[in-house]
Structures are given as C-alpha cells and as structure tokens.
Amino acid sequence: MKNSRLFPLWDGRRYVFAEAPVLVYLELTRACDLACRHCRAEAIPHRHPLELTTAEVVNLIADLGSFPRRPHLVLTGGDPLKRPDLFEILAEARRLGQPVSVTPSGTYGLTPAVVGRLRDAGVASLALSLDGSDPAHHDGIRGVPGSFAWTARALRAALEAGLAVQVNTLVCRETVDDLPRIYDFLSRLPIVRWSLFFLIRVGRGRVMRELSPAQAEQLMGRLLDLSRTAPFEVKLTEAHHYRRIAIQRARAAGRIEEVVRSPVGRGFGIRDGNGIVFVSHIGNVFPSGFLPVRVGNVRQTSLVDLYREAPLLRALRNPDSFYGKCGRCEFREVCGGSRARAYALTGNPLASDPLCPYRPGRTGVPEPSGGVRARP
C-alpha cells in the first residue's frame, strides 16, 4: 500500500533523515548526585577521566555546522551541571549560532541563580524530569530525598525567568497510576511540553517493569485525547506507534490533514538513528541514548560522516529492512517502532517493537529465530 493513500498531503518522499539529524544528544558527563532507578547512563557521583575535553566539545559543536542545517543540540548527562566548563561550552555554542537545550538533574545545585545563568547563556529551553506528583513518588524513583522539592523550585524559577520548559516523565508500571496527578500539577504551570518517556529496560532500568502492550495502547489513546485539550504539547518518546494510533483515529474521523500538521505529524519518521543521534561522554556515537550499539567515536571520525555512513544508522533509516511485523507494517514509514526496545529484548535493533500490539495484514520478512545480536 502506498503511503500517499494514508497521507493525502504527503508529497511522496520517505520519512528518512539521511542528510542531517533533527536532534543531537551530547552526554557531557555521567556524573550525577541522584541515583535514579531507571538511569540509562548508570550515572556515578564522579566524572570519568576520559570525558571529552572542552576543546573537543567545542570542535563537535563546530562540526554540527557542516550539516545542511544545524540540528538542535541537547546537553545531557548524568548532570551537565557537574561539568565546570558548562557555561564556557554554552558561550561557544552561542558564538557558533548553535541552538542548545540543557537537561539538568533536579538536585540541590539547581538553584534559581543557576537557572538564571542558563537563561543568560542563551539556552533555548530547559528540560526537567518529574516522575511523581509528590515527594514520595518522585523521590522514590530518583533515589534521593529532596529531589522533588529541588525540581519544583527549579521549574518555577525557569518559568519566572522566561525560559521554555519541557517536563520529562517516565512511563512504566511503577509510575502509570500517578500520571493523572502529575498532569494536574503541570496543567497549572505554563510549560511548553510534557514529554512522556516509555521505559526502555537498559542501564538501571532493567529492574523496572514496562507496561504490557495492551496497557500501553490504552494509555496512548488517552494521551492522544488529552493532547487535544492540554495547555501544552504532549509528546511521547520510545512510543512510536502513538503515531499509528493518531493516524487511525484521524482517518476514522476524516481529519487526516489535521494529524499530519500536528506535533505528532512533525515527528513522523523520527526514531533512533533516523533524525536522532547520541554522543557519549567519551565520544562514542550511538543511534540514541537508549540503543547502546556503538557506531564510532567523534575523536576519530566526524559526527557528520558517522551519522550519514555508519552501516547500522543506514539500516535503521530503512524500515523495509526491519524484521517481522515492523517490516511489513503499513505504518512503518511514520512509525518504525522503537529500535531501542527491539534491541533491549532481542539483541537485534532491526527486530519488531514488542510493545506494539498491532498486527499488519501483509506478509513480509519473518522474525529471525532468536534474534540477530548486534555487537555493543
């Protein structure tokens, strides 16, 4: 079935971001004062001695200018505030015309004064994590008493400073019942986006529990309904079949143009390795922070070259190469499934996303027996 049947406004191009990513995530450090139960990075209190130097980070930012358009750079961690050169890096990014967002950890160090410095440094937005509606829920996930209060203080300081704020929330069995109360808390604040991260069982997150496919499908439907009235954008991460649900509902209502033009439509095709790339604290490059298969290192090779030419990234940009139902699904161009979740379960980033219950009707490439394990 041709995609033009699904999307009357589509001009025939595939949703492939081969020339440039939309987002580059740079893990400045793995040092962090929290002990989050789901931490992808398995963060530690102290910095790694082989972290990228200030000059190497600046060179990487300069290299982003070699893409046809500069991708948005997200400085993450660990906690970026554990880098004493953070504001020097931000100054260089500003000089180079590089748009930057920062994702600091909700610790005692994230004071209103620090938030003000981030605003003055020219950051485009701040992303803060809120995994519970109260200290008992949030601090239980973050592993340090006081994190809820510090995060709420920073959130209000950022909004008072005029910063655009995204709030990130983990979605798993341990947090799902609290999501309505988190929404109630956030709906009273002028944030720009609520980003819900569906658990990928990597790092410390291996001990936490994902929703079942049926639970995830029901929740995505409720979030889609909520997005129509929410005072901020509702975004889902590592839950790509949310796009399929949006399309199915829009088609049934005769409003396909509406979903194509919506924030959901703007994310069509973007997934691990296709529009997204991740650079670790020591320069290793991965399709995303949740898909720990190394494709190279920026100390040896330009990120531009790695993003365009690494065999794994090229494969991830071709949904026709995916195995099982993801490879034959009529929504594979806009969705493609979570490559990170496929890898976490099977060891094969081209396998099907086990969280999606949808069964496409077409025949296609069968799932390989036992998965094909990619080398980390």
Beta-bridge partners for 73: 24, 100
Q: Does residue 39 register a pLDDT over 80?
A: no
pLDDT of 228 reads 92
Domain 18-320: which CATH number of 3.20.20.70, 3.90.1110.10, 3.10.129.10, 3.40.50.2000: 3.20.20.70
Percent of the chain beyond pLDDT 90?
76
Band the pLDDT of 42: cuts 50, 70, 90.
Answer: low
Q: Does residue 376 register a pLDDT over 50?
A: no
pLDDT of 16 reads 78
Band the pLDDT of 37: cuts 50, 70, 90.
Answer: low
Band the pLDDT of 363: cuts 50, 70, 90.
Answer: very low
57-66, 262-271, 360-369 — which is least confidently predicted? 360-369
Is there a contact between 194 and 234 (Cβ–Cβ < 8 Å)? yes
6-10, 176-180, 278-282 — which is least confidently predicted? 6-10
DSSP code of residue 267: T
pLDDT of 253 reads 86
- Provide the Cα torsion 50, 54, 57, 63; round to 10°: -130
Q: Does residue 12 register a pLDDT over 60?
A: no
Alpha helices in the chain (DSSP H): 3-6, 54-64, 86-96, 112-120, 135-142, 147-160, 179-186, 213-227, 242-253, 256-260, 263-266, 303-309, 311-316, 324-328, 339-346
Tell me: the pLDDT tens digits for 44-57?
778 889 999 999 99
Q: Does residue 20 register a pLDDT over 90?
A: yes
DSSP code of residue 151: H
Is there a contact between 223 and 242 (Cβ–Cβ < 8 Å)? yes
Q: Does residue 300 register a pLDDT over 50?
A: yes
177: Cβ contacts below 8 Å, ≥ 6 apart = none
122-126, 142-146, 327-331 — which is least confidently predicted? 142-146
DSSP code of residue 81: G
pLDDT of 40 reads 57
CA 282, 351, 22, 37 dihedral sign is: negative
CA angle 363, 350, 217 (to 5 degrees): 75
pLDDT of 9 reads 35
Three-state DSSP state, 147: helix
Tell me: the pLDDT tens digits for 160-216?
999 999 999 999 999 999 999 999 999 999 999 999 999 998 766 667 789 999 999
- Could you tell me the residue ranges of all domains in the chain? 18-320
Three-state DSSP state, 52: coil
For the record, the structure tokens of 57 come out as 């980070």
37: Cβ contacts below 8 Å, ≥ 6 apart = 140, 141, 142, 143, 174, 204, 205, 207, 208
Count the helices and strands in the chain (H runs, E runs): 15, 11
In SS3 terms, 88-123 reads as HHHHHHHHHCCCEEECCCCCCCCCHHHHHHHHHCCC
Place of tokens 């590089």: 98
Place of tokens 């002028």: 190
Band the pLDDT of 10: cuts 50, 70, 90.
Answer: very low
Band the pLDDT of 41: cuts 50, 70, 90.
Answer: low
Among 306, 237, 321, 324, which Cα is nearest to 272's? 237
Q: Rounded distance, CA 247 to CA 264, Å?
A: 9
Average pLDDT, the chain: 89
Q: Rounded distance, CA 56 to CA 111, Å?
A: 28
List Cα–Cα distances, 145 to 34, 179, 351, in angstroms.
Answer: 9, 20, 39
Considering the entire predicted model, what is its pTM?
Answer: 0.90
